[in-house]
A and B are shown apart, each in its own frame.
Chain A
Amino acid sequence: DQQVKQNSPSLSVQEGRISILNCDYTNSMFDYFLWYKKYPAEGPTFLISISSIKDKNEDGRFTVFLNKSAKHLSLHIVPSQPGDSAVYFCAASRRNTGNQFYFGTGTSLTVIP
């Protein structure tokens, strides 16, 4: 069973607008969440993370929001740029008690110039 789900396989957004990528998880024991970005023919690279003690973490144009009661997190990219076009993976872990990172299936973002 997928413990981390990304229900939107793809998303298209106009340059300059906001991109919102969503992720749901089922395990309430997860306490650490990450977003990875992946370009074609490259490995995923770390983008931003959030601990369960927070509900928001911001890094430049990227903000991750965590709603623990809904078991939902989202990644906001503002403003979106063509270079942001990539596949975005959501991941979750139990940081202090486990070593596994559970990944979603990814959302392919296309930013249209």
Chain B
Amino acid sequence: DAGVIQSPRHEVTEMGQEVTLRCKPISGHDYLFWYRQTMMRGLELLIYFNNNVPIDDSGMPEDRFSAKMPNASFSTLKIQPSEPRDSAVYFCASSFWERGGHRELFFGEGSRLTVL
């Protein structure tokens, strides 16, 4: 089975440009998470969805960040306008709720964003 698929793997853009990161979760998973990896904060949760509905977006750093999940197999994380401090690796992860709770998260390979 395919794992979590993210695109693009690398994105280099200039400050002020719009950036869209994409994620396809594992089929059958009902939770989707967006994380950002930085040296200072490690893996930081930005937002997560349950059955395509955003549940907690308190980790989204600013209004410049937005995320959508129009269906069970696709999610986007958008940054508009982008700034150099947004440079990081962004991970998408999915999971399913089983009796007893989530067992583990399955991560994609990440999207490395560089904003010049």
Contact = CB atoms under 8 A, between A and B. Distances in A.
The answer to whether A and B come from one shared complex is yes
User: Which secondary structure dominates chain A's binding surface?
Assistant: loop
B103 A49 contact: yes
Interface string B102-116: 111111111000000
Most chain B CB within 10 A, of A43, A44, A45, A102, is at A43
Interface residues of B, number: 29
Interface residues of A, number: 25
A101 B48 CA distance: 11
A101 B105 contact: yes
Interface string A89-107: 1010101100111111110
B2 interface: no
B4 A43 contact: yes
A34 B91 CA distance: 17
Most chain A CB within 10 A, of B50, B93, B107, is at B107
Interface pairs A-B: 10 shortest CB-CB: A95-B101, A43-B107, A105-B42, A103-B43, A46-B104, A43-B109, A96-B101, A44-B107, A103-B42, A43-B108
Interface of A: 2, 6, 32, 34, 36, 41-46, 49, 89, 91, 93, 95-96, 99-106
11 contacts: A2-B41, A6-B42, A34-B104, A41-B110, A95-B101, A101-B33, A101-B45, A101-B102, A103-B35, A103-B44, A105-B40
Interface of B: 4, 31, 33, 35, 39-45, 48, 50, 55-56, 91, 93, 97, 100-110
Given A100-B56, A103-B35, 5 more contacts: A43-B107, A91-B43, A99-B56, A99-B97, A101-B105
